[in-house]
Amino acid sequence: MDLGNLISKITSVAPLLGTLVGGPVGGAAGTAIKLIAGALGVEATPRAIEEQLSSNPDALLKLKQLEADHETDLRKLVLEAERIRLADVSDARSRQIAHEKATGKSDTNLYILAWTVVAGFFGLMGLLCFMALPTDSSGVVFMLFGALATGFGQVLQYFFGSSKGSQSKDILLEAKR
């Protein structure tokens, strides 16, 4: 099962539902999964939903109808999920500002950690590109690479923001048309 494919399939006919399913796990994503599963008459799991969408040609029409019937509530959920995400980002920025006001200097630990993650990510990526891995350790190396890739994304999001808010806004604007 490919979650990205599932989200893409849902977003193609029901952009608001796709935005919610593709959001952070829990809260709005869980609510969207339950709504979709209820409309399709399947268990509330991504696998069951994907199987239904693949095997039943009417399933996508049901999703489109579900979104049309609950558009106002879904818009509220999307906006609430975005509000929570922005509040979290704001808290991180506020923490940094408060630290700098209290001490009069930047938090060097923050920058050391960020540069360590970035250097580790690119270092391991370079090794993976130019060196053959022993077959018995490849699983561990790829697990480490996944963790570093996630950390790298978080560093970028912290220091440069995220395009997720922009994507959500674009989907909402497109859905209004």
Whether the full predicted model's pTM is greater than 0.75, yes or no, is no
Q: In angstroms, rounded to a whole number, what is the distance separating the alpha carbons of residues 128 and 121?
A: 11
Q: In angstroms, rounded to a whole number, what is the distance separating the alpha carbons of residues 124 and 149?
A: 10
Q: How is residue 146 written in tokens?
A: 């996944």
Q: In angstroms, rounded to a whole number, what is the distance separating the alpha carbons of residues 173 and 74?
A: 14
Q: Which of 83, 84, 93, 77 is nearest to 157 (CA)?
A: 93
Whether 116 shows a pLDDT value over 90: the answer reads yes
Whether 89 shows a pLDDT value over 80: the answer reads no
Other beta carbons less than 10 A from residue 160's beta carbon? 8
Whether 100 shows a pLDDT value over 80: the answer reads yes
